[in-house]
Each structure stands twice: as C-alpha cells, then as structure tokens.
Amino acid sequence: MKFAAVLLLCSFSCSLQAQTIPAERTVNWSLAGLEADCFADWPVLNIISAGGYADGSTSNDAVLAEVLDGLTEPTIIYFPSGDYLFEDQIALPSGVVLRGNGADHTTLIFDLAAEKDLIAAKGSAGAVTVSIIGAPAKGNSVVKVSDPSSFSPGNFIIVNDDDTELVNNTWALGTTGQIVRIISIAGNNLTLNEPLRRSYPADRSPYVRSMNMVTDVGIEALGISNLSPMSSQRSNIFFRYVWNGYVSCVESYKTNYAHVELEHAAHCAVTGSYFQDAWAYDDGGKGYGVLAHYAAGANLISGNIFKHLRHSMLVQAGANGNVFSYNYSEDPFWTGTVLPSDAAGDLVLHGNYPYANLFEGNILQNLVVDDSHGLNGPYNTFFRNRADNYGIVMSNASVGNDMHFIGNEVTNTGFLKGLYSIYGSGHIEFGNNIKGTVTPAGTSPLPEQTLYLGSVPSFYLTTGNWPPIGIPNAISSEDIESHYRFVSGDLTLCADCGPSCSYPEDLNAGPVLINKASLSWTTVTDASRYEVQYKPSGAGPWNKVKPLENNVLLTGLMPGTNYVWKVRSRCPDGWTAFSPNTTFTTLSMRAGEGPKADIFPNPATDALSIHLHADGGVIQIMLTDLHGRRAYTETVTHEGGQWIHSIRPLPAPGIYLLQVYLKDEVITEKVVIE
C-alpha cells in the first residue's frame, strides 16, 4: 500500500467537496448501479435437474421455457459446468437470475435460426402521460403534475420534455429524460428516488410518462458464445426498460451490435466481465462492448475488460448519469474507413445529447467525442483516465460544450499519436498529464481522488496505488485491477453478495526451510478452494497455486530470499478479494550444512547420479534453474539403505540446484550441466 494514511483519510471528504468542478455542474454519481444488489437468499433451480442438456448439441430452449413458465417466485436458475445449446432467444421476466459455475466452466452457446438478441429482458413504455406543472430544475427531487391519480408509490416513470432542439435524429426524440421511481405522493407532488440531472423548461412542455419496467434480473458466472452472424442490430445481452438488472462475471464472445445493450435501462450494473470480438466492424452499429442509450441512466459499468471491438464503451441518445469506471480496453478495430484500423474510439460519446456521464479510472486506447449523431450534452466528465494510443480527441467544435477533462493521462509519444484535441467552449480542464506535461500549465495538485466512490476498493489496499491514474503519480506508473486481471489471465471477477465467505485471515508461514515453505491460514466457511499468489519481494509476476485445503507447501524456492504472499477464497458466488500481503524469508544455504549426497559427475554432460544412504520412505528429486523454474522432478519410494538414482536425459546446460526431499530434511547441492 503506497499511499499515505493522511491521503486515504482525506480522499473522500475532498472528493465530496468537488473542489475542481463546481457543484452545479455535477450530479450524484454515487447513486449509479444496483438499488438491491444481492439475491443470495433466492431459491436455486438446477437446470439439469429440470431436464436440461449440458452436451453442447441438444437444444435447451423447450426445457428453459418450461422452467420459466412454471416459476412462482424469484428464482436463480443454475447451470452447472457444461455447454448449453440454445436455438432461440432467452427472454428473462422479472425476478430471474441465470447463474453458471464460472465462465470457464459454464457456456451458453447460441446458434439462432432467426435474427434476435441472444438474452433479452424487455419491459415497455407505459400508456399514461401527464403534464408537469412548472419547470423542475436540475437537483430537484419533487415534480408537480397536473393529475397524479394514475400513479402510486413504487411506480416507475420517465421525466421528459419536448427535446427536439437537443437531438439530431428523429429516432432519438424523447430519449433525453430521466427514468425514476416514485417514493411518495402528496397532493400533486411526486417525490422521486433521486434528484433530476437536468432542468426541464416550461416552454418545452415537460411531462411524466409511466414505464413498465422489468426488475431484478441477472446474468452471472457464465460464458456466452454467439455462433450467429446477423445483418440487423442484435445484441448478446439486451436490457430494455429494465430496472435493477445486472451482468457480472460473464465472458461474451462475438457480438453483432453490442455485447451488452442498455436501452431505457436504469440502475443496472455490468461488472467484472470480459467482452471480445464481433462478427463485423464496419459502420451502422456493429462491434460494440457496452452501449448505453435511449435515456439509460444511473447505470454502473465497472471493472470490465474489452478486446478487439469497434467501440468498447459508447453512450448516445440521452444516456445520463451513468458511470463507466476502472475498465480496461485494448485492440480497438474498425473497417469501412480511411483512418487507421486501430484509430476507432474505444470510449465514445456519439451524440444525440448524452449528458452528465462520468468516465473514471479507465485504461483505453482512444477517447473520442464525436458528432456522428449531433450534439453531446453538458457535464460529461472524464476523470483520471489513461489513453495509450491516439489519445483524447473531440472531432470538431460542434460536438458539445461544458464538459470536464480532469486528471487524465495521454501517454503515446509516437508520430500522430498521443493527441489531446479539445474543441468547443465552457469546458473545465485541470491536471491532465499529456505525455509528461501537466495540461493546462499550473493546474496541480489535483485534490479529488474519486468522484463517486465512498471507500477505496479492496484491490488498492493490497496492490498498487490509489488513485491509480493521474497526478501526482508518474505517467503510466500504476495499474487498475481490470488490466491487472487481464495480464494475469483472470478475465472475470465475480462479486461477493450478501453473507458470502471472506478472504482468509491469520496467515502463517512455517516451517520455512532453504527452498520450501509451509503456508497456512484459518479455514473459511463455505470456501471450496483457495488461491495463493507468491513471488520474491519487489520482482517478477505472481506465481499461483490453488489448494483445496487451508494450507499449501511451496517448493522450489530460492535460498535466502524474502517472499511476499497473499491468499483469497473461492466462495459459492465467486472469488473474494485477496488478503493483505504478508512475507516470509527462506533460510540461507551455508557451506557444510546438512546431510550430504554423492553427486557425480559434476559437471555432468550425459547423466547425473545421486548416491546416498537413507531410511525408507518417499523421496522427491527436483532440479531448478537459478530463476526457480523446474527443469526436472520425480517422486520415488525407497525401501531403505543405500539409494542410487540417475537423471537422464539432462536439461539444457547451465547451473542448477538439485534438491532431494527426505522425510524430515532436504539436501541441496549445486549442479553444473555442460
């Protein structure tokens, strides 16, 4: 943990004061995401027990349809390890979660006969429209309507107005409002669950309209394989008129339109997931990662990984109050353009008045604000992001005004790369590190560390720095969790929910010998296994082992070396965070110490012989190079007495450590192979 305690203590009080951005230009981004994020107490129905097929070749359409039709209460439908074929769309009603056994074990395969979204939860617009009295202003949470008789507390509505002058396309008319829930009704006043994110002038005839929302749906811990190229705009996961829906710990491959599409969706979350590849990359709406549009609001898209897509993260058509945070995107790609294939914006504002969205802590290649569909709205905020390829580009002066570019990094010093091109008026720019130069000059220090979080994410308490991007850090010096996962091969992160298990505590190392160490920790209730990561302090990537019990024996360690290690638990609903780092030091090897074995010839060219006298039992022999990599290992059973063993063929020439593990001791000798 590299940050000072005083910074940790002040970070959130500083952020809440929003010293760099005036309060009237912000919204409460901490409200983004799920209202109720734990369905752990729901009953679980095993799809195999209901007659499902996990062979990858037999259709599950009829089985799942029968299951959904027979549900009488909110239910988690569990897909054990296997491949599940679907030839038609999965339509999710309210109160259903699809849960797998992890994206590397459970895959839903879609080979659709017709062009449809693969998994869809779809509500609808309501039939009741009532005019608003007056002109509710940004920040208000009460609206006065002409007739409240059609509404009740708990109903969903959209607050809107005639937004003709805000949007560029007829298909986007009526999309710039805010989806809210009614908390209470007093006279003609409707109290809403959250403040308004823009004002609704009286001369634009503001109104509210009823919304029939699908609620409480989820897709988690599974993979999606799309075998169906389509000419129409169809997404792998489509949330339309959805409230409190989530996608978590999902791997999705090959989309047509978007991997996840949020349309008229509010308080949804897309987290800890991996999205890769599309069937096509030309224009007209193809190859998106997560798309938020048509008044999609207060959604949280966080901790995801995107690879080889036209646009990884895109907002348009009135999307507002959404938070895209700590995502990693690489290898953007497009066709049908004269521009370079890697110049596609992997974070894009696409016009038709998206407003007041927050983009915080993302690592991507190209951040683009364009006017493909006209004007982008105000108060879109780009805070502590890193753009590693073409940089941050607004396409021209007509794309939008009054945005915020604060604490971002642009890193690429190559020819025509690393751009920082800001057009328009009314923007706030502060503390951007553009290829090593703080821009604008004199805009430091930057007091805010986050604009929406209430605490430091657990990853940054044990690994890396907080905040990971932007001044005062040196440019490109720190990492975010999603990129860290990508590099280590952990593509998904399953969120903890409810009273799930915790990471292990009371970590203990001992006994620790010259080249091995016994590690242990307290048993975690409900943990099915553990993951231990260890490495020499301050060097190299983490080594991983995944024991089933609350202990593990590490072997092949370097003598006299300090190691750092940590451990996490695998709970029924995913991996926990890692425990805080702790350390141990292996014993140094001293000349003449310990039992000896006759090793000959040494140096060796063709074979190596080991002679010793030992009691009966299991003997393990191991050759490791000076980097700790195993070149030879074998376990044998010895009857007792004189013992001879030959190693043939030998590994590549070099200097090795030969380790012979006996019952109560270990023999270590240096061996030269020529």
Question: What is the span of the domain harbouring residue 516?
Answer: 508-585
Decide: helix, strand or coil at residue 488.
Answer: helix
Same domain for 219 and 336, yes or no, is yes
* 121 vs 373 pLDDT, higher one: 121
Instruction: Specify the pLDDT at position 9.
Output: 34
Mean pLDDT of 320-334: 98
Same domain membership, residue 137 and residue 284: no
Q: Which of 538, 560, 585 is the last residue of a domain?
A: 585
CATH (domain of 524) = 2.60.40.10
My answer on whether 58 and 191 are in the same domain is no
Query: Which pLDDT score, from 0 to 100, does residue 43 have?
Result: 84
pLDDT digits (tens, 9 = 90+) for 241-286: 999 999 999 999 999 999 999 999 999 999 999 999 999 999 888 9
- The per-residue DSSP string of 268-319 comes to -EEES-EEEEES--SSSS-SEEEEEESS-BS-EEES-EEES-SEEEEE-TT-
Give a yes or no: residue 277 inside a domain.
yes
In 468-542 the beta strands, taken as DSSP E runs, fall at 508-512, 516-520, 529-536
C-alpha count within 13 angstroms, C-beta hemisphere, residue 412: 18
CATH code of residue 639: 2.60.40.3080
- Domain-located, residue 380: yes
Number of Cβ within a 10 Å radius of residue 589: 16
Domain presence at residue 102: yes
Grouping H, G, I as helix, E, B as strand and the rest as coil, residue 16 is: helix
Q: What percent of the chain is predicted at pLDDT more than 90?
A: 69
Higher pLDDT, 600 or 341: 341
Length of the chain: 674
pLDDT in tens, 177-196: 999 999 999 999 999 999 99
Instruction: Judge whether 410 lies within some domain.
Output: no
Backbone angles phi, psi at 434, to 5 degrees: -100, 100
**Are residues 99 and 60 both part of a single domain?**
yes
Q: Could you tell me the pLDDT band of residue 33, with boundaries at 50, 70 and 90?
A: very high
> What is the structure's pLDDT at 10?
41
Res 123 pLDDT > 90? yes
- pLDDT over threshold 90, residue 133: yes
For residue 604, tell me if it sits in a domain.
yes
d(CA 484, CA 502): 21
Local structure of 461: helix, strand or coil: helix
For residues 329 and 483, give the distance between their C-alpha atoms in angstroms, rounded to a whole number. Answer: 8
Same domain, 318 and 222: yes
Mean pLDDT of 570-595: 71
Assess whether 161 and 189 both reside in one domain.
Answer: yes
Paired residues of 292 in beta bridges? 262, 315
User: How would residue 613 be classed by pLDDT, with cut points 50, 70 and 90?
Assistant: low
Asked if the structure places residue 404 within a domain, the reply is no
- pLDDT tens for each residue of 520-579: 999 988 888 899 999 888 777 788 888 999 999 998 788 888 999 999 888 776 677 678
Q: How far apart are the first and last CA of the chain?
A: 44
Same domain, 526 and 666: no
- Asked if residue 238 and residue 301 are part of one domain, the reply reads yes
Share of the chain above pLDDT 70, in %: 92
Q: What's the CA dihedral at 414, 324, 269, 280 to 10 degrees?
A: -40
C-alpha 249/C-alpha 269 separation (Å) is 11
Q: State the maximum Cα–Cα separation within the chain, in Å, rounded to a whole number.
A: 100
By C-alpha distance, which of 29, 22, 18, 34 is closest to 322? 29
Sign, CA dihedral 189-194-199-203, equals: negative
Instruction: Determine whether 425 is exposed, middle or buried from the number of CB atoms within 10 Å of its CB (0-12, 13-18, 19+).
Output: exposed
Return phi, psi of residue 481, to 5°.
-60, -40
Instruction: For residue 173, give Cα distances in angstroms to 40, 142, 315, 318, 470.
Output: 39, 24, 16, 9, 38
Q: Which of 335, 358, 391 is the last residue of a domain?
A: 391
Q: Which of 108, 118, 103 is nearest to 251 (CA)?
A: 103
Going by the DSSP 8-state scheme, the letter that residue 29 receives in this structure is: G
Residue type, 49: S
- Select from 155, 181, 212 the last residue of a domain: 212
User: Does any domain span residue 457?
Assistant: no
Q: Are residues 206 and 218 in the same domain?
A: no
User: How far, rounded to the nearest angstrom, does the alpha carbon of residue 587 sit from its chain's CA centroid?
Assistant: 40
The reply to whether 186 and 232 lie within a common domain is no
Q: What is the pLDDT of residues 42-84, one digit of tens each?
A: 888 999 989 999 999 999 999 999 999 999 999 999 999 999 9
pLDDT of residue 462: 81
User: Does one domain contain both 259 and 357?
Assistant: yes
Average per-residue pLDDT for the chain: 90
Tell me how many domains the chain contains: 4
| pLDDT of res. 498 | 45
Instruction: Give the pair of three-digit tokens for residue 276.
Output: 């890769």
What confidence category does residue 17 fall into, taking pLDDT thresholds of 50, 70 and 90?
A: very low
Q: How many CA atoms lie within 13 A of 355 on its CB side?
A: 26
**What CATH number does residue 191 fall under?**
2.40.30.20
Q: For residue 71, which amino acid is it? A: L
CB 394, CB 429: distance < 8 Å: no
Q: Is residue 162 part of a domain?
A: yes
What is the H or E stretch that residue 14 is in?
A: helix 5-17
CATH of the domain at 308: 2.160.20.10
Could you tell me if 226 and 357 lie in one domain? yes
**pLDDT number for residue 570:** 82
